[in-house]
Structure 1
Amino acid sequence: MSLLIRNADVITLADPTSSAPEHLDLRIADGVITDLGPGLVPRDDDEIIDGRDRLVTPGFVNAHTHSWEAPFKGRYDNMPLELWMLYSYPLLGSAPCSPDFIRARSQLFALESLKSGVTTVVDDVLETPTQDLEQLAAVLDAYDRIGIRANVSGHVINLPFVDTIPYVADRIPGEVTDQIRATALVTAEEYLDYSRQALNLVQGFGQDRLRYMLAPSAPQRCSADLLAGATEMAVRHDLECHIHLLETKTQLVTGTEFYGTSLPRYLRDIGALSPHTTFAHGIWVDDDDLEIMADHGVSVSHNPLSNLKLGSGVLPWRRYREAGVNLGLGTDGWSSSDTPRLLEVIKAASLLHKVADPDPAAWPTVTETLRAGTVGGAASARLADRIGTIEVGKRADVLMWDLTTLNFTPRQRLDHQLVYSENGSSLERVIVDGVVVVEQGRLLTMDEQQIVEEFNAYLPEIHAWQDRTDRLNQVFHPAFAASYETCSHTPSPINRRIGDGSHHAPLHAGHR
C-alpha cells in the first residue's frame, strides 16, 4: 500500500533560495518519497489523499531539546541559566528515576512534539546521578512505540558542578562543597564503554528511526579526554556529538578563567571538533570562534525562546550565516522554554533578529528560518541524507496543513503565513517514516489520554520531591547569584546590542 497526496501546495525546501510552494502530487511507499511531480497517475495500490486546499511541508526537526525536564515545565521564571540549573538540575537531593517513569515522561514529550508537527527530536537526555542502559532503553521504547524519529543521548558531566562555574566554589560552605566533590563521577573510558553498549542497544529499536548520540555536556563540565574521545567515537560511527557551548556571558568568562582562551579554541586544541559536532546555543562567539567552527564543519542549534526566557543573550544570526556555519533550531528543554513546539521557535527566530540588528538586509528570511527548522536541524543531527526536505528518495516525514482555516485567510504567501500566522491549529496530518501518526489532531499510534493520565499519576510524588530539593539547593543560591553578577559585569570583547546581561538587577533567593 502506498499513499498518494494529489493536487497539494508543496513546500519542498529542496532549493536553498526558496520556500515558495509548488502545486504537486506526492507518492509515499515503504516509508520513502518515491514520486513527486504534477499529475501523477494513480496506481491500484495507492491510498489517495485529497491535497486540494492543503499545504504539504517537511516535518520539523527539533535540533536541541531535553525531554527529561518534563516535570519542571512551567515551574520556574526570572532566573538566568546558572541559577535556573540549581533547581532544574539539583545538586542535592536527586535520586535515580525509574524506567517506568522515564517511559511515561518520554511518551508525554513525544505526544506534544508530534501533535505540533515535530517529527524528529534531538533529545539530550540527562539522568541524575548518571544514566544506565535500562533508563536509556525506556526512552527508546517510548519513542519506538509512539512513532517519532529521534537522536537520544547519553548526556554526561564528569566534573564536579561547583567547579564548572567561576567564582562559586569558594563562596559555598566547605562541607557542602566536599559533599558535591565526593560524588562519584564517570571517567572518560567508562562513558565511552557505556556508549558502545548503547550503540548495540539502539539497534533493537525504531527501524532506524532512533539513533544514539554522544553528548558531553559542555567543555567546562567534562574532562578533555572525554570530550576528545566522544568526538572520535561520533566520527567513527557517523553519530552526532552534541555539546552545550557559550550559552551565557558566564560561560564566556569561564573560557578565559579556566583555559585562558575561548571555549571553541579550547575544543579545537584538544581535538574535540568535527563535522559531527553540534553546539547547542553558541551565543557568545567572536569572529575567530566563527572561523574555527566553519573550518571544522560544526553545526549550531539556535534556541531563541529558551535564550530569551533565561536572559542568555542573542545569537549573531547573520554572522553565522556569512561564516557558512549550519544553523538548526531547537526548543531547548521543557523547563527553560516550556514548550516542545518548534513552530513557535521558527517564528521567534524570524522576529528576534530584526531587533538584534538595525540593518534589514541582515534580518532572517522566511526561507532561512524554515530551512533552519528542517534542513538545518537534519544536517546537525547527521540525517540530511534522510530527512529535512521533500525529495524523491528521502524518508517520508511530512506535514499537511489545512489552508481553509483563518490562519491562512486571506491566502497570500503560504510560507510567510506558515511562519507568522499559523499557531499549529491548522495541522491536519503528521506522517513519520511514511506512517500517519497524527490525524485531525489525534494521535493514532497510542492512546493519548492514557499517556497523559499515566504521567499525571506521578504528580504528587514529583511536587513533593521538587519542593524538597528546592529547599536543599537554596544553600547554593547566593554563591551562584554572586558569580552571575560578577560575570555579567566583566568587560567583554564581544559587542552585543541587546541581551548581554550587563544591566540585570541583583538576584536574591526566592526569585522563581
Structure 2
Amino acid sequence: MQTLIRNATLLTMDGPEGAVPIAGDILIDGVVIAAIGKNLVAAPDARIIEGQRKLVMPGLINGHTHSSETFLRGRYQNMPLEVWLLYAYPLLMGPAIAPRLLYLRTLLLAMESLRNGVTTLCDDFFDPPAHDLERLGTVFRAYKDAGIRANVSSAVMNVHTLDALPYAREVLPQALQDKLDFGPPISAETYVDYCRSAFSSLHGMAGRLNFMIAPSAPQRCTPDLLVACHDLALKMRVPLHTHVLETKTQAITGHLMFDKTLVAYMHELGMLDRNTTIAHSVWVTDEDMELMGKAGCSIAHNAVSNQKLGAGIAPIRRLMDAGVTVALGTDGVSSNDTARIFDVMRVAGLIHSASGPDYGTWIPAADILRMATINGARSAMLEDITGSLTVGKAADLIMLDLDTYAFMPLNDIDKHLVFSENGSSIEMVMVAGEIVMRDGRLTTVDEAAIFAEVRETVPALLTEHAELERLNRVFDPFFAEIHRRASEEDVGLNRYAGDAPAWRASNWR
C-alpha cells in the first residue's frame, strides 16, 4: 500500500543541509520511502495525508535505555550512581519478575516512546539472575506488538560487583561481603552460545527487531568475555553496546584495576571500532577521545540521566571534534523519569553552554537534531535503514502540527524542536510504513487496558521491591563511602571534567 503525505514541511536530516526545512511531498510504498519531491503522484488507492502546516521529520532514536527500570519511575532522587544502583538494581536480588510483568514493562516503555516520537530504541535490559532465551523472546514480542524498531540485549557481567568497584573490598565489612554470593559467573563460552541462539531465533523479527551484544562495562567483565563479545559483534555486524566512564568512581576504577583509563583498556583489548557504542563517556581524557575518534566509535549522550545522578557533563564538543559519533539516550526511566528524547534534546542543547566563555564551541540546535536522528541510527548500526528521510530507507517518521505554542510564531524550526517542543505537537508516528500513532491514539495497543493492568498488577511488585530496598539499605553507607573516596581522589583526573573549563575542574567532586 502507498501513502502520500503532500504539501508538508520536510526536515530530511539527509546530508549536510538536512536540518534545513523544505516544502514538498513524501511518497511511501510499503515499508520504505519511494520518493521525495513536489507534486508527487501516488497510486489510485493510496492513502492521502494532507501536510499543510505540518512538519514531517525522521523518527527520533533513543540510543540507550533500560526497559528493566520502567516500573521505577519517580522513585529515587539525590543519589549518585553507585548508591542508586543499590535500590534500582539491588545486590540482594529477589526472584525474576513474572513473564507477564516482563512483557508489560517492555510494552509500556515502547508505548511511551512511540507517543513521544521515538521510532527506534536500543534497550540494554537487565533480567537477573540468568540469561534466558524465552524471557528475551518476551521482550522482543512486546516490541513487536507495539510496532517500534529496536535493538535489544540483556546486559552481561561476570566480575563480582565488589571487584568492579574501587575500595569496595576494603570498605565493606566481611559479613556483608559474605552476603553477596551470586553463584558461579557466566563464562564467555556460555554467553556466546546464548547470543548465537538469540541470533538464530529472534534477530530480525518483524523486519525491525535486532539482537545486539551488551557487555555491561569493561570493569564488570573478564577480558575473555569482552573479546568474545567483540568478535561476535563484528561477525554478526551488530553493535557492541556498553557503559564506560559514567562517573568519577569509574575513572578511578580504571586506574586502580588496569593502571590506565577504561577506554585505553578497551583499546588494548582491540574493542574500539565502528561497532562500539559507549553509553555516557563523561570522564574521558583527550587521549581517550582521540582513540575513540580514530576507531570510529559512537557514544550515547544521556544528558538528563547524567545530571540526575550527578555524574557530570560529557565533553560533547571535544568528542565531536575528535570524530566520535554522538547520539542521544534517555537512559532508564528510573534515572531519567521519562522516555522522551525531546527532553534530552533540550537539556543537551542547554548544558553545554556552561562549557566556557567561547560560545563558538557551544552545540547548535542542528547538531542536537542530528544526534537525535541520523547519529542515533549510526550508533545503532542502522544508518542505512533509518535516521533520515531518504529514498530507499524505511518510512520511520513523525508528523508534528506547526499550529501549536511550540512553533508560534515560527522562526527557525531546528531551534523550535530543540528548545520549545516536548512531543505534544506530534500528530502521527509511522514505523516501517505503518501508522502506529495518529491523532493522539496508539493504533497497535489498547492504552486504557494496559494502564488498567499496570495499575492492578504492579503495586504488588513494588511492595516486593520495597522489601528489597530495605534489605539492601545496609550497604548504603559503605557505597556512599566509596563514592566519597572516589570524589576526593586526585590522580590527575582534572582532565576528566567534561566540557567544564579548567578553572572549574577542581569543583567536580
Residue in 2 that maps onto 1:160:
160
- Once the two structures are superposed, residues 397-438 of structure 1 have per-residue CA deviations (whole angstroms, 9 ceiling, x without a partner) of 010000111221112212211111112111000000000000
Q: Using the alignment, how far apart are the partners of 2:474 and 2:413 within structure 1?
A: 52
- Describe the SS at the equivalent of 2:212: strand
Write out aligned runs for 1:428-443 (5 A): 428-443=427-442
In the TM superposition, residue 355 of structure 1 has moved relative to its aligned partner by 1.4
- Once the two structures are superposed, residues 468-501 of structure 1 have per-residue CA deviations (whole angstroms, 9 ceiling, x without a partner) of 1111111211111111111101121415238979
How many residues align? The count is 503
- Describe the SS at the equivalent of 1:64: strand
Q: Using the alignment, how far apart are the partners of 1:222 and 1:460 within structure 2?
A: 34
- Once the two structures are superposed, residues 13-71 of structure 1 have per-residue CA deviations (whole angstroms, 9 ceiling, x without a partner) of 11234512000100001110001011112331321110000000100000000011012
Residue in 1 that maps onto 2:294:
295
Q: Using the alignment, how far apart are the partners of 1:26 and 1:75 within structure 2?
A: 43
Residue in 2 that maps onto 1:322:
321
Residue in 1 that maps onto 2:102:
102
Q: Using the alignment, how far apart are the partners of 1:426 and 1:13 within structure 2?
A: 19
Q: Which moved more, 1:96-105 or 1:24-33?
A: 96-105
Write out aligned runs for 1:37-48 (5 A): 37-48=37-48
Q: Using the alignment, how far apart are the partners of 2:506 and 2:197 within structure 1?
A: 42
Decide whether aligned partners of structure 1 residues 18 and 354 sit closer, same or farther in structure 2, where only a CA change above 3 A counts: farther
In the TM superposition, residue 327 of structure 1 has moved relative to its aligned partner by 0.5
Q: Which moved more, 1:146-155 or 1:182-191?
A: 182-191
Decide whether aligned partners of structure 1 residues 377 and 405 sit closer, same or farther in structure 2, where only a CA change above 3 A counts: same
- Once the two structures are superposed, residues 163-188 of structure 1 have per-residue CA deviations (whole angstroms, 9 ceiling, x without a partner) of 11101122223133123245232111
Aligned amino acid, residue 392 of structure 2: G
In the TM superposition, residue 203 of structure 1 has moved relative to its aligned partner by 4.1
Gaps of 5+ in 1: 505-512
Q: Using the alignment, how far apart are the partners of 2:204 and 2:449 within structure 1?
A: 25
Residue in 2 that maps onto 1:255:
254
In the TM superposition, residue 320 of structure 1 has moved relative to its aligned partner by 0.8
| 1:189 partnered with 2:221 | no
Aligned amino acid, residue 179 of structure 1: K
Relative to the length of structure 1, the TM-score reads 0.96
- Describe the SS at the equivalent of 2:475: helix
Aligned amino acid, residue 255 of structure 1: G
In the TM superposition, residue 272 of structure 1 has moved relative to its aligned partner by 2.0
Q: Using the alignment, how far apart are the partners of 2:339 and 2:365 within structure 1?
A: 20
8 Å contact from structure 1 (residues 306, 336) kept in 2: yes
- Describe the SS at the equivalent of 2:23: strand
Q: Using the alignment, how far apart are the partners of 1:503 and 1:265 within structure 2?
A: 22
Residue in 2 that maps onto 1:507:
none
8 Å contact from structure 2 (residues 8, 24) kept in 1: yes
Q: What percent identity do the matched residue pairs reach?
A: 42
Q: What CA RMSD, in Å, does the superposition of the two structures yield over aligned residues?
A: 1.5
- Describe the SS at the equivalent of 1:156: coil
Write out aligned runs for 1:197-208 (5 A): 197-203=197-203, 205-206=205-206, 208=207
Aligned amino acid, residue 339 of structure 1: T
- Once the two structures are superposed, residues 218-244 of structure 1 have per-residue CA deviations (whole angstroms, 9 ceiling, x without a partner) of 011111111111011001001111010
- Once the two structures are superposed, residues 116-137 of structure 1 have per-residue CA deviations (whole angstroms, 9 ceiling, x without a partner) of 0000010001111123111101
Q: Using the alignment, how far apart are the partners of 1:404 and 1:282 within structure 2?
A: 38
Decide whether aligned partners of structure 1 residues 441 and 224 sit closer, same or farther in structure 2, where only a CA change above 3 A counts: same
8 Å contact from structure 2 (residues 12, 18) kept in 1: no
Residue in 2 that maps onto 1:508:
none
Residue in 1 that maps onto 2:362:
363
Q: Using the alignment, how far apart are the partners of 2:52 and 2:332 within structure 1?
A: 37
In the TM superposition, residue 205 of structure 1 has moved relative to its aligned partner by 2.5
In the TM superposition, residue 102 of structure 1 has moved relative to its aligned partner by 0.6
Residue in 2 that maps onto 1:456:
455
- Once the two structures are superposed, residues 182-213 of structure 1 have per-residue CA deviations (whole angstroms, 9 ceiling, x without a partner) of 5232111111111011111214722x200001
Aligned amino acid, residue 293 of structure 1: M
- Once the two structures are superposed, residues 247-282 of structure 1 have per-residue CA deviations (whole angstroms, 9 ceiling, x without a partner) of 000001000000000101101112222210100000
- Describe the SS at the equivalent of 2:52: coil
Q: Using the alignment, how far apart are the partners of 1:313 and 1:409 within structure 2?
A: 34
Q: Which moved more, 1:412-421 or 1:284-293?
A: 412-421
Aligned amino acid, residue 309 of structure 1: K
Decide whether aligned partners of structure 1 residues 461 and 119 sit closer, same or farther in structure 2, where only a CA change above 3 A counts: same
8 Å contact from structure 2 (residues 494, 506) kept in 1: no
Residue in 1 that maps onto 2:495:
494
8 Å contact from structure 1 (residues 8, 51) kept in 2: yes
8 Å contact from structure 2 (residues 14, 389) kept in 1: yes
8 Å contact from structure 1 (residues 313, 500) kept in 2: no
Gaps of 5+ in 2: none
8 Å contact from structure 2 (residues 248, 311) kept in 1: yes
Residue in 2 that maps onto 1:62:
62
Q: Using the alignment, how far apart are the partners of 1:445 and 1:182 within structure 2?
A: 40
